[in-house]
């Protein structure tokens, strides 16, 4: 249970003070930032809903009428490709009596192709663009305008093939926020890639435990000592200078691994894994590029694929995670593609299980009254950057502005 002195206001003040320390003095956030439902609600409103959150990749919506339903911060949403071929995000809340038109209780698929949406309650129908098409027996409702009563459209943006939403509608344009991020990943042509592997995880930990674990590589020497540490030792990882909207880290391979790749590239040899991304500079092939688009767009580049983790925070101590691998269209045509998928799915699950274990252990530790404020290594600079991003949003909240 969270101590009563941990009011949301006190937690916000603590986070703002903590993030103002220089990296050499950095420490972890107060445990209440990971446990308090009151603070989580504040974060939903002022950090998560105020930012851009990734919900889909265009390859998941391959044709007109393709849709994908998901719940994000208690908002039932559907991402859909309309008759004009544009991808939109609509609210699934029926404007009649508020039924979630694709709720799991109706046993409709989360992802499918349709020509229109039909509310199962009173059979109102909506187009792929959310426009109401039919509402029977409403002719005696005074002033009922048949041209109104559409599904609400949520503010969205497609960036390098990824579909993002901004729930409060007030964030600055995504293309501006992620401009430099987009330049860094452009050689991968992610808009042309396709989701090849998708694994779903129910997580009993706070969303920040997940993004902190994602973006720091100090833990290679513990959690991944027999896997990632072997090729990408923690001590060699480094972080680009701070940006307001994203974090970019480099995970260089050991010199012997890098030399093998340089030789293979120079001699045109095939390497294990998927078909390599065409035209990648060799310097980008001898490391993994690790990114966090604030607040929770987790993205990783490799020589033959990218990884994308979609995070749906649910409560202070729960979130849902989808871990996805995207490959090029050429990779899908390779003769050994099916065998590679089997091997890579196992590899991904194995190293991700190592992360799931430590994240679960951290949340369990945070529940203890013996959890102290830890100090951060210089290798955890990205964790400090996350604190600073969150604090920048908390500083802008109306309650604090009024108090100042
Ligand atoms: S609630 Fe959807 S048609 Fe009535
Ligand atoms: Fe990890």
By mean pLDDT, which of 32-36, 151-155, 223-227 is the weakest?
A: 223-227
Band (396; pLDDT cuts 50, 70, 90): confident
User: Residue 145: exposed, middle, or buried by beta-carbon count in 10 A (0-12, 13-18, 19+)?
Assistant: exposed
| DSSP-derived secondary structure letter, 375 | B
Atom of ligand 1 nearest to the CA of 122: 3
Mutate to test the pocket of ligand 1, among 91, 124, 133 (most ligand atoms within 8 A of CB): 124
Query: How far is it, in rounded angstroms, from Cα 402 to Cα 404?
Result: 6
Q: How confident is the model at residue 335 (pLDDT cuts 50, 70, 90)?
A: very high
Q: How far is CA 214 from the centre of its chain?
A: 11
Rounded distance, CA 288 to CA 227, Å?
14
pLDDT at 291: 98
Ion ligand 2 contact residues with beta carbon within 5 A: 355
Tell me, letter by letter, the H, E, C secondary structure of 270-300. CCCCCCCCCCCCHHHHCEEEEEEECCCEEEE
Ligand 1 mean position to 125 CA, how many Å?
Answer: 9
Q: Whose C-alpha lies nearest to ligand 1, atom 4?
A: 122
* pLDDT greater than 50 at residue 1: no
Query: Would you state the pLDDT for residue 401?
Result: 44
Give which of 112, 22, 26, 28 is closest to 65, Cα–Cα. 112
pLDDT in tens, 309-334: 999 999 999 999 999 999 999 999 99
- The pLDDT, as a whole number, for residue 69 is 98
The Å distance, Cα 120 to ligand 1 centre, comes to: 7
Q: Say how many Å lie between the first and final Cα of the chain, rounded.
A: 30
CA 316/CA 48 separation, integer angstroms? 13
Per CATH, the architecture of 54-156 is what?
3-layer Sandwich (2.102)
Two tokens at 16? 């703002």
Q: pTM of this prediction?
A: 0.95
Ligand 1 and 96: CB distance under 6 A: yes
Q: pLDDT for 117-147, tens place per residue?
A: 999 999 999 999 999 999 999 999 999 998 8
Residue span(s) of the chain under CATH 3.90.380.10 come to 185-392
The alpha carbon of 99 and the centre of ligand 2 are apart by a number of angstroms equal to 39
Residue 166 alpha carbon to ligand 2 centre in Å = 28
Query: Which backbone phi and psi does 310 adopt, to 5 degrees?
Result: -100, 125
Q: Determine if ligand 1 sits within 6 Å of the CB of residue 102.
A: no
5 band by pLDDT with thresholds 50, 70 and 90 = low
Would residue 181 be called left, alpha or beta, if left means φ above 0 and alpha means ψ between -120 and 50 degrees?
Answer: alpha
HSE-CB at 280 with a 13 A cutoff on CA atoms is 27
Looking at the CA of 94, which ligand is closest?
A: 1
Q: Confirm or reject: Cβ of 149 under 6 Å from ligand 1.
A: no
Give the burial class of 334: count Cβ atoms within 10 A of its Cβ; 0-12 exposed, 13-18 middle, 19 or more buried: middle
CATH number of 185-392: 3.90.380.10
Q: What token pair was written down for 361?
A: 């252990």
Pocket flag, ligand 1, residue 117 (CB < 6 Å): no
Contact 308, 291 (CB under 8 A): no
- Give 46-88 pLDDT, tens digit per residue: 999 999 999 999 999 999 999 999 999 999 999 999 999 999 9
Quote the crossing angle between the two packed helices 381-395 and 8-19, to the nearest 10°: 130
151 ligand 1 Cβ < 6 A? no
Of 332, 323, 335, residue with least CA distance to 304: 332
CATH 2.102.10.10, the chain: domain bounds: 54-156
**Do 78 and 117 form a contact (C-beta atoms < 8 A)?**
yes
Ligand nearest to the CA of 106: 1
């Amino acid at each position: 249970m969270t101590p009563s002195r941990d009011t949301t206001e006190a937690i916000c003040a603590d986070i703002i003070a903590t993030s103002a320390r220089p990296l050499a003095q950095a420490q972890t956030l107060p445990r209440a930032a990971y446990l308090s439902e009151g603070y989580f609600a504040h974060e939903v409103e002022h950090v998560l809903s105020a930012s851009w959150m990734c919900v889909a990749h265009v390859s998941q919506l391959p044709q007109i009428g393709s849709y994908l339903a998901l719940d994000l911060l208690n908002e039932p949403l559907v991402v859909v490709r309309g008759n004009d071929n544009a991808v939109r995000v609509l609210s699934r809340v029926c404007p009649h009596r508020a039924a979630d038109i694709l709720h799991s209780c109706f046993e409709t698929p989360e992802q499918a192709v349709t020509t229109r949406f039909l509310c199962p309650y009173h059979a109102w129908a909506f187009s792929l663009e959310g426009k109401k098409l039919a509402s029977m027996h409403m002719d005696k409702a005074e002033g009922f305008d048949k041209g109104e009563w559409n599904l609400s459209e949520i503010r969205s943006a497609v960036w390098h093939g990824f579909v993002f939403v901004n729930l409060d509608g007030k964030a600055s344009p995504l293309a501006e926020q992620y401009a430099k991020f987009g330049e860094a990943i452009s050689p991968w042509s992610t808009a042309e890639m396709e989701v090849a592997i998708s694994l779903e995880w129910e997580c009993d930990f706070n969303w920040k435990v997940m993004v902190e674990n994602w973006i720091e590589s100090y833990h290679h020497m513990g959690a991944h000592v027999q896997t990632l540490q072997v090729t990408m030792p923690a001590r060699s990882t480094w972080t680009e200078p701070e940006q307001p909207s994203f974090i970019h880290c480099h995970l260089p391979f050991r010199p012997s691994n890098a030399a093998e790749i340089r030789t293979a590239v120079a001699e045109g040899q095939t390497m294990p894994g998927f078909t390599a991304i065409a035209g990648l500079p060799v310097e980008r092939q001898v490391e993994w590029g690790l990114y966090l688009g604030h607040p929770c767009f987790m993205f990783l580049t490799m020589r033959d694929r990218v990884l994308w983790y979609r995070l749906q925070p649910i409560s202070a101590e729960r979130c849902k995670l989808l871990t996805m691998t995207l490959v090029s269209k050429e990779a899908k045509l390779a003769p050994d593609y099916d065998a590679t998928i089997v091997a890579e799915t196992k590899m991904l699950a194995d190293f991700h299980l190592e992360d799931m274990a430590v994240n679960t252990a951290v949340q369990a530790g945070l529940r203890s009254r013996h959890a102290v404020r830890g100090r951060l290594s210089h290798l955890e600079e990205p964790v400090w950057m996350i604190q600073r991003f969150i604090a920048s949003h908390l500083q802008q909240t109306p309650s604090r502005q009024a108090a100042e």
